């Protein structure tokens, strides 16, 4: 069974203090790893898809990386508006269209 574990569960940063969120996964035949952002009272919003080890993607202050066992979401010089829950999800080759999610990391950035 596909498994996704995210750490830490919660992360509190000062504005400008860079850090990383971790997503460890166990799947049979990874087809894609996804990062989503979820604000309170809203549905998850897509950020990135990573397909193979070594791949990196960037968007503003966020950078996602992928190895064979885990993914990192690096946040550089975060701002208060980056506060949200960040969710990691995987899709495996045997489960077309089915995303398995982790529990998420709730990020709070203080001004």
Partner 1 sequence: DTAVSQTPKYLVTQMGNDKSIKCEQNLGHDTMYWYKQDSKKFLKIMFSYNNKELIINETVPNRFSPKSPDKAHLNLHINSLELGDSAVYFCASSAQGTTNEKLFFGSGTQLSVL
Q: Which residues contact 41 (CB under 8 A, 6 or more apart)?
A: none
Stretch that binds partner 1, among 14-22, 58-66, 71-79, 93-101 (CB under 8 A): 93-101
Decide if residue 66 touches partner 1 (CB under 8 A): no
Instruction: Kindly state the number of chain residues that form the binding site for partner 1, as judged by CB under 8 A.
Output: 29
Whole-number Cα distances in Å, 14 to 17, 20, 24, 49, 78 = 5, 14, 25, 27, 8
For partner 1, give the closer residue by CB, 17 or 103.
103
For partner 1, give the closer residue by CB, 15 or 39.
39
Decide if residue 24 touches partner 1 (CB under 8 A): no
Length of the chain: 111
Decide if residue 111 touches partner 1 (CB under 8 A): no
Name which position in 75, 92, 107, 109 contacts partner 1 (CB under 8 A): 92
SS3 state at 62: strand
Q: How far apart are CA 15 and CA 104, in angstroms?
A: 21
């Amino acid at each position: 069974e596909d498994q996704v574990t995210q750490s830490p569960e919660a992360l509190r940063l000062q504005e400008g203090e860079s850090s990383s969120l971790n997503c460890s996964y166990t799947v049979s035949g990874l087809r894609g790893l996804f990062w989503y952002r979820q604000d309170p009272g809203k549905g998850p919003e897509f950020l990135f898809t990573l397909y193979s080890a070594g791949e990196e993607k960037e968007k503003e202050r966020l950078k996602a990386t992928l190895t064979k066992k885990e993914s990192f979401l690096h946040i550089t010089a975060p701002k208060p508006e980056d506060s949200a829950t960040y969710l990691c999800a995987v899709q495996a080759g045997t489960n077309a269209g089915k995303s398995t999610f982790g529990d998420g990391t709730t990020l709070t950035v203080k001004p």
